[in-house]
Structure 1
Amino acid sequence: MKNKTENHFNCKETLKNSVFLLFLIALFPLFIHAQKGPDFSILTDKSFQKLYQNPEDCIGYSQSLLISDKNLEHKIVLRNILSQAYAMQGNYVQSLNIYNQKEEEENIRKNSQSYFIHLFSEYSLADQYQNLGLYNQSKKIISSILQNQDLLKSRDMKMKTTIAKLYQLQAINFGITRNYQEALKNLIISDQYLTGHNKENSILTWENKIFRASYLIRQNKLEEAKKMLDEVIYEVKQKGDYPFIIAFAYENLSRYYFQKEDYNTAIKSLETGLLQIENLPYNNIKIVFYELFTRNYLALNNDQKYHYYNNLYSDLKAKLDTNKKEGIQYIVKLVETYNKKNFEIQKQKKIRQVRNTSIIVLFFVLGIVAYFLYESRRSKDLKKQLAFFEKQKERERSVQLKDSIKNEQKNTEKETPKVSKEKEDEILQKLKEWELSTNFLSKNMSISILSAQTEINTKYLSEVINSNKGKNFNTYINELRIDHIASLLKNDPAFLNYKVSYLAEYSGFSSHGAFTNVFKSITGMSPNHYIQEIIKNKRS
């Protein structure tokens, strides 16, 4: 009886221990999960916040995440944030360097099933093009992506945020060509995809509001724009410290007051906005502030302040223009390298196809030969005839194969044909679209930069401009500049108060004298005479 009791007690103890062990095993995953670091989406959200607080902090923080994270999706998101931080500083070459850092091909191949990687890579490239002022290329990439209806129906949060960013970029592209209706339409769609409750979605929503207000100002819907800007400033101040967003809002608020010819209040708005970022390296927006200060002080005839801010503007513009020019050259080389690699891949593919076809034909021929040799055993004469026939066929095929390979090589080595009528019409249409932008006002404008911005071969460009416009490249650009400044003088009263030296610099000319000479050769009168005529006509 005693042994039975002891056995029963031992069984109960064993059962207890087993249950306790199972309980610990069940809790183990929860314990491990509790020891993990913060979710990646929280870390990237913080990184994105820093982008609008201080680019230097953003770079340091994002690089530390990039080093420790091995996930390819995470890396591509972090690189884009880093790239944007350098672009905000005006360091376009470093921005492109970060974008161009690729993982090993094996890793990319293994992760190629991730559609998000492909989508975000395309978005990053469109963003790079836009930073460098290559708006047509940016627009083309985004239009191609947004044709995918399945993508637009995605419910994945990171996909939706990326789609929202694409629509925002496209809105900016339309805004550059003054198609404000399409720009506003794209911003509305962008907002519809910003359904997340993180800081990134909030910041993008504020940006969309500011962009919308800027396009409303350009359409002279001033009060609606001001109300929107006041809302953003109030919301941002309530939600946290985002100096870039506040500065961006005040920059556009100054445009509202400038449009109302309240130059003193416009200057106060600029001072408030600049104070937010004065000690931060946001050079891409600082240059806009300096230019707007210059315009307002010119309108107030305050020469001292005008010269002060004009010097700041000129120095920073020279630096950023140089960086942008280097960036354009860099991205052109990247595209050329990509196209060259793509061409080599296609060439190798063709060679493999020809080789595979040759092997199939050879096996087919050998099969036929073997069959006829077997049959020809019955007759020596038939065997000789078949052998001779097959040798002739093999020789002909070999000659044809060599000829086809030679012809392919000759075709690849042929010179580029002259511009066809269809190509000429396509180039003229692209030039027409490009003329809607103000890229021709850049001092560094050259035929190679125009080629990069329009994606047209420089030879074709030169030929079409000469044959269709009846002028060389320099004359073509100078006429666009003079037409633009003449239109502004007629339609914007503020420009009548500006000095000719400022008009020359604004138009992209290297000197006051060069501007005056070109202006007179095109309009038949000097800039001063032209301005006096406009003032006289307005009074009468």
Structure 2
Amino acid sequence: MKNKAENYFNCKKTLKNNVFLLFLIVLFPLFTYGQKGPDFSILTDKSFQKLYQNPEDCISYSQSLLISDKNLEHKIVLRNILSQAYAMQGNYVQSLNIYNQKEEEEGIGKYGQLHFIHLFSEYSLADQYQNLGLYSQSKKIISNILQNKDLLKSRDMKVKTTIAKLYQLQAINLGITRNYPEAFQNLIISNQYLTGHNKENTILLWENKIFRASYLLRQNKLEEAKKLLDEIIREVKNNGDYPFITAFAYENLSRYYFQKEDYNTAIKSLENGLLQIENLPYNNIKIVFYELFTKNYLALNNDEKYHHYNNLYTDLKTKLDSNKKEGIQYIVKLVETYNKKNFEIQKQNKIRQFRNITIVVLFFVLGIVAYFLYESRRSKDLKKQLVFFEKQKEREKAIQLHFSTLKNGIEKEKEQKITEKESPKVSKEKEDEILQRLQEWELSTNFLSKNMSISILSAQTEINTKYLSEVINSNKGKNFNAYINELRINHIASLLKNDPAFLNYKVSYLAEYSGFSSHGAFTNVFKSVTGMSPNHYIQEIIKNKRS
């Protein structure tokens, strides 16, 4: 009886131990799952926040994530954030270096993953073009992407956010050419895709509001713009520390007061904005602040402050223009290399395709020959044999003629390409296309850059330099330098006529603003274009306004 009891308790104890062990086996995976790190979307959201808080912190944080993460999709998102951080600092070459990094495993992955990677890569390239002031190239890439109706219907949150960014970029491109109705429409569509409840979506919505306010100011809808800007500044203050967004809003608020000719309040807005980013390397927006300070202090005739901020502006502009020039040269080489590789791949594919077709044709011909030979052996009818061989000869001639024609066609195509390369003569159709592109480019203010050259214009318009030179000479009646200088003079003359603030500026500032290397050069060109000196032109405008 005692042994039975002991056996009973031993069995019960063993059963309890087994149940406990089974319990641990079942719960262990759940426990370890709960101990995993945070979701990647949370990490990237934090990285995106840091982009608008401190670009250096953003770079350090994003690089640490990039090292530890092996997922291709994650890597390309992190690289884009890193690239934007360097661009905000004005380091465009490093921004392009980050964009241009490739993964060995890039061809591996699910279809959906590769689809997103391609979409995000195209968005990143459009962003790079825009950072460098190559707006037409950026616009072209985005237009091609947004033609994909299936893509626009995607419910994937990361795809929707990327589409929202594309519409935002396109709105900026349209704003550059003063196409404000379409710019507003693109901002509205961008907002419709920002349905996520994360910080990235919130920040993008704030940016869209500021861009909208900026375009309203340019249309002289001042009060509507101010209402938006005041609203954004309140929202940002209530939702955390975002120095870049706050500075961006104050920058546009200062423009409101400048247009109202309340220069002191405009300066206070600039001081509030600059205070947010003074110790942060946001060089791409700092230069805008320095320029606006210069304009306001010039309007107030405060020479000391004017010279202080003008020196800061000039130094930083020289540095950023140099970086941008290097960036443009880099991206031109990058695109050339890509096109060259793509051409080589297409060439190899055509050769491979031609070889395969040739092999198939040869096997087909050999098959026919073998079949008819076999049939001829079975037939004793000499007439049929003669007919067969006559037909065979005709086929061989036809094949030879086919290959000869194909060969001649290829050689003619090569000769045509060589002729096209050797002859820079522009056809009427090509000339009209170039004139159309130049007309679109003239709507921007890229010609105000001191570094403007025919090679940079070529990069911005995607037109061969020889064609550009020929069309400008034949249609504009002047060489490249005279063409650019005339655009500059027409632009500054229009500003003097339509913006009263410019009448208070010194001629030296007008020369600097217009992209001329010296006061004397500006005066000479101004006189040659308008028939009078800048001072005489300004006095005439003032007289007309008084009368």
TM tier relative to shorter chain: over 0.9
The alignment partner of 1:118 has SS state of helix
Alpha-carbon distance in 1 for matches of 2:412, 2:280:
58
Match of 2:345 in 1: 345
Q: 1:432 corresponds to which residue?
A: 439
Q: So what's the TM-score if we normalise by structure 1? A: 0.94
Higher mean C-alpha displacement, 380-389 vs 456-465: 380-389
- The equivalent residue for 1:290 is 290
Which residue identity does 1:94 align to in structure 2? Answer: Q
Rounded to whole Å, the distance in 1 between the matches of 2:448 and 2:218 is 19
- Higher mean C-alpha displacement, 451-460 vs 504-513: 451-460
Deviations 1:109-139 (A, max 9, x none): 4355422111111110110000000111111
Matched residue, 1:477:
484
Question: Once the 2 structures are TM-superposed, how far is the Cα of residue 407 of structure 1 from its aligned partner?
Answer: 3.8
2:520 to 497, 513, 516: 513
Match of 1:299 in 2: 299
Query: What secondary structure is seen at the aligned counterpart in 2 of 1:269?
Result: helix
Q: Please say which of residues 23-32 and 290-299 is displaced more in the overlay.
A: 23-32
Paired residues for 1:34-433 under 5 Å:
34-104=34-104, 106-111=105-110, 113-114=112-113, 115-377=115-377, 394=396, 397=399, 400-401=402-403, 404-405=406-407, 407-412=409-414, 413-416=417-420, 418-433=425-440
**1: CA distance, partners of 2:404 / 2:21:** 76
* 1:428-455: CA deviation from partner (whole Å, max 9, x where unpaired): 1111111111111111111111111111
More off after superposition, 127-136 vs 205-214: 205-214
Greater alpha carbon shift after TM alignment, 13-22 vs 470-479: 13-22
- CA separation in 2, counterparts of 1:320 and 1:359? 58
Deviates more, 1:108-117 or 1:49-58: 108-117
What's the CA shift string for 1:50-101, capped at 9, x where partnerless?
A: 1111111111111111111000000000000000000000000000000000
What is the deviation of 1:470?
1.9
1:419 aligns to what SS in structure 2? coil
Q: Residue 464 of structure 2 is aligned with which of 449, 453, 457?
A: 457
Q: Say which is worse superposed, 280-289 or 423-432, in terms of deviation.
A: 423-432
Moved more, 480-489 or 367-376: 367-376
Matched to 1:287, the amino acid is I
In 1: Cα distance, 2:21 partner to 2:419 partner? 79
Query: Which whole-Å CA distance do the structure 2 matches of 1:347 and 1:379 have between them?
Result: 50
Q: How many residues align?
A: 539
Aligned residue type for 2:168: Q
1:333-374 alpha-carbon deviations (Å, 9 max, x no partner): 111111111111111111111101110111011112212222
Mapped to 2, the partners of 1:7 and 1:398 lie a distance apart of: 97
TM-score, normalised to structure 2, is: 0.93
Q: Percent identity?
A: 83
Whole-angstrom distance in 1 between the partners of 2:156 and 2:375: 67
C-alpha distance in structure 2 between counterparts of 1:441 and 1:397, whole Å: 62
Measure, in 1, the Cα distance between the counterparts of 2:61 and 2:411.
52
Report the AA paired with residue 495 of structure 1: F
Give the Å deviation of 1:260: 0.3
Matched residue of 1:414: which SS?
Answer: helix
> Following the alignment from structure 1 to structure 2, what is the Cα–Cα distance between the partners of residues 386 and 414?
45
129-138 or 419-428, which moves further after superposition? 419-428
Q: Distance in 2 between matches of 1:397 and 1:259?
A: 77
Q: Relative to 1, partners in 2 of residues 1:186 and 1:154: Cα closer, same or farther, differing over 3 Å?
A: same
Distance in 1 of aligned mates of 2:241 and 2:258: 27
Deviates more, 1:518-527 or 1:426-435: 426-435
- Distance in 2 between residues matched to 1:4 and 1:325, nearest whole Å: 94
Distance in 2 between the 1:26 and 1:109 partners? 34
| RMSD over equivalenced CA pairs, Å | 2.2
Structure 2 match to 1:468: 475
The CA deviation at 1:203 is: 1.2
CA–CA distance in structure 2, aligned partners of residues 167 and 372 of structure 1:
65
Whole-angstrom distance in 2 between the partners of 1:51 and 1:181: 30
Q: Which amino acid aligns with 1:46?
A: K
Number of the residue aligned with 1:532 = 539
For residues 13 and 56 of structure 1, do their structure 2 counterparts lie closer, same or farther at Cα, with a shift above 3 Å needed?
same
Whole-angstrom distance in 2 between the partners of 1:26 and 1:405: 72
* Aligned counterparts of 1:539 and 1:419: Cα–Cα separation in 2: 50
Provide the C-alpha distance between the structure 2 equivalents of 1:390 and 1:537, rounded to a whole number of angstroms. 92
CA distance in 2, matches of 1:534, 1:61: 55
Q: In the aligned structure 1, how far is the partner of 2:284 from the partner of 2:316?
A: 9
AA aligned opposite 1:537: N
Equivalent position of 2:500 in the other structure = 493
User: Structure 1 CA distance, aligned partners of 2:21 and 2:227?
Assistant: 65
Show the counterpart of 2:27. Answer: 27
Whole-Å Cα distance in 2 between the matches of residues 457 and 136 of structure 1?
Answer: 15
Question: 1:399 deviation in Å?
Answer: 7.0
For 1:346 and 1:14, locate their aligned partners in 2 and report how far apart those are by CA, in whole Å. Answer: 71
In 1, the alpha carbon distance for the partners of 2:464 and 2:320 equals 26
Superposition deviation, residue 306 in structure 1? 1.1
1:287 Cα deviation from its structure 2 partner: 0.4
Partner of 1:125, secondary structure, is helix
Post-superposition shift, 1:510?
1.0
Which letter maps to 2:243? P
Deviations 1:26-58 (A, max 9, x none): 212211112211111111111111111111111
Rounded to whole Å, the distance in 2 between the matches of 1:266 and 1:149 is: 44
Q: CA–CA distance in 2 between the matches of 1:348 and 1:71?
A: 31
